[in-house]
Structure 1
Amino acid sequence: MSLLKSEPFAAVTSMDELLAIAFAMEQEAIDGYSKLAAHMRQENRPDMVAVFERLVGEESQHLGNVVHWSERVSGKQPDLSNLRWEPADTFDDEGAGSIAPELLSAYRAFAMAVRNEERAFLFWTYVAAQTDQDKLREAAERMAREELGHLATLRRERRQAFHHRRAAKPAANPPELSELEQRLAEHLDATAGKESGPEVSRQQDLAQQARERASGLAAKPFGPSPLLKDGLPPNVLERPGPLCELLLDCYLDFGERLPDQESRSRAQRFAAGAVECRSFIRALVQ
């Protein structure tokens, strides 16, 4: 289970404060998923727009439940002025707003949402444990149970997205990292021919580094990458940015789990090269 980076700052002392915290957490999630939906709309990914809008709808329903509860308890909507501290670390888009859109999938989005619900559940269990008021402990436990219900729903969505992704993959051999590096070099060579100034020399250097990694991988591969076993994400070969990010993910994975230190260090060096290449590509298109 994903853990909070820190426990809640202080014990909750009133129902008004508890409901204000719940309102703020749900609104943060709505805002986060709404931004991701807008980003995917700009990137022409209607499939992912639908996923994030669905998550917005889920969180909006949760927010409505908090508002109704507050109206029953106090006769008014939650008041954010009752917040003595801001709840933190319960929502994280895990970089979904900055990674290449080609690498984002429904499965990855629902997996992120599952981890957010896990953090919210842990948050409320901490709140329940910290209070010495029965009424507040029961309310926090109720919020934790609701988060568990949300978690179960999103886990089902994640599972369905996983099976859909597996079913949609063509039957083909996974690509080799050496082939992907060679394709990256070709992209960099092609775009270097369209540029002028110091960027040209830098792109040529990065293309050569990609070719050297390709040669090294052909001679001494790391082995099959689990990130490639289901094939490539759609259109990832068409642009150097997404391709570079995919290579980075693969190298970081190898750098953590290869059995010997020499191989892990080699994978980490390749990852550093991919980071350098990705940073250049991002700066070039800004």
Structure 2
Amino acid sequence: MPETTQQPWRVRSMPDLIALARAMEQDAVAGYRALASRMRDENRADLAAVFDRLVAEEQGHLEMVDRWSADTGGEIAAMPVLMPEASFDDEGAGVVAPELLSSYRAFSMAVRNEERAFVFWSYVAAHAPSHDMQIAAERMAKEELGHVATLRRERRLAFHAGRKAAPKAANVDLPMLEMQLNDHLERIAAMPMAGEKFRALAAAARHRAAAMKAIPFVGTPLLDNLPEPVSGQAVSLSEFLLDCYLDLAEREKKEQPRLQAQAFAGQLIDSLQQLRALPVP
């Protein structure tokens, strides 16, 4: 996925933006198709089927971009202006031994690709040179957030299909979990390699906890299935909270809490990007 450090504001026109969106989706289709072919060659029909599903998902995204292009006049730049790196990252799945792969790992890789795409398009929107391009980039970010939700559901199913029963945490709610995340982030912020950005993420967690008192959510059944170990680490807790907000964004009927859940999900994706970038001690 293109890095936000590559100055996405160089995308200066709608044809360029659509060309970039199309190229990113085509890259993902080609990546998953190559992985499906490799799994068939390695007699892993189960994983070939997973990657085939991901190919179909990305082809659906590509068709959406093509419909969008037609709706805006059909003009597409000949080449995307910002593809300095491969937009699709198979995270080593193309070379790792097949026996080390699983459906859960495949969906995890797909989730991270979609999360990076969401962050990228959010950044494009923030630096768009025109209102029309800002709206277009925000639309792409919203689409990617939907893809994240779909793939994270698939990943949960794969996880539960392959796991043994684990003790569940009891009597938890989202504000409580956000304050636990705040504590984790504050501890990370005190480390020499972390600093102010993690204090800002901790403050965002506190803000989300307070905001839910003013605009409560309808509730998510995911809170009934919180594995005890999840709350002990910042990354796993952020992952769980993100799943909750994506679930709430689909369940909420009222616009304000639905938009709040989507905004919270976006913040958690950003938090996860920062946490994953931390150097391993």
* Cα separation, 1, equivalents of 2:70 and 2:133: 17
Distance verdict in 2 for CA 1:103–1:5, change over 3 Å: farther
Which runs of structure 2 are paired with 1:1-286 in the superposition (5 Å)?
4=3, 6-75=5-74, 78-79=76-77, 81-86=78-83, 88=85, 90-167=87-164
Distance verdict in 2 for CA 1:31–1:161, change over 3 Å: same
| Partner of residue 241, structure 1 | none
Cα displacement string for residues 77-127 of structure 1 (whole angstroms, at most 9, x for unaligned residues): x44x14223163542000001000001000000000000001100110111
When the two structures are superposed, what TM-score results if normalisation uses the length of structure 1? 0.55
Cα displacement string for residues 249-275 of structure 1 (whole angstroms, at most 9, x for unaligned residues): xxxxxxx57xxxxxxxxxxxxxxxxxx
RMSD: 2.2
How far did 1:44 drift? 0.2
Mapped contact 2:8–2:124 kept (Cα < 8 A) = no
How far did 1:74 drift? 1.4
Cα displacement string for residues 134-191 of structure 1 (whole angstroms, at most 9, x for unaligned residues): 00000000100000000000000011100001159xxxxxxxxxxxxxxxxxxxxxxx
* Cα separation, 2, equivalents of 1:141 and 1:11: 16
How far did 1:62 drift? 0.2
Mapped contact 1:19–1:70 kept (Cα < 8 A) = yes
* Cα separation, 2, equivalents of 1:9 and 1:141: 13
How far did 1:72 drift? 1.4
Q: For 2:110, give the aligned amino acid.
A: A
Helix, strand or coil for the counterpart of 1:6? helix
**Unmatched runs of 5 consecutive residues or more in structure 2:** 166-279
* Cα separation, 2, equivalents of 1:145 and 1:135: 15
When the two structures are superposed, what TM-score results if normalisation uses the length of structure 2? 0.56
Mapped contact 2:2–2:120 kept (Cα < 8 A) = no
* Cα separation, 2, equivalents of 1:3 and 1:64: 21
| Partner of residue 272, structure 1 | none
Mapped contact 2:44–2:98 kept (Cα < 8 A) = yes
* Cα separation, 1, equivalents of 2:153 and 2:11: 32
Q: For 1:34, give the aligned amino acid.
A: R
How many residue pairs get matched? 167
* Cα separation, 2, equivalents of 1:143 and 1:120: 9
Cα displacement string for residues 183-230 of structure 1 (whole angstroms, at most 9, x for unaligned residues): xxxxxxxxxxxxxxxxxxxxxxxxxxxxxxxxxxxxxxxxxxxxxxxx
Q: Which structure has the greater CA radius of gyration?
A: 1
* Cα separation, 2, equivalents of 1:103 and 1:87: 30
**Unmatched runs of 5 consecutive residues or more in structure 1:** 169-255, 258-286
Identity %: 56
Distance verdict in 2 for CA 1:167–1:31, change over 3 Å: same
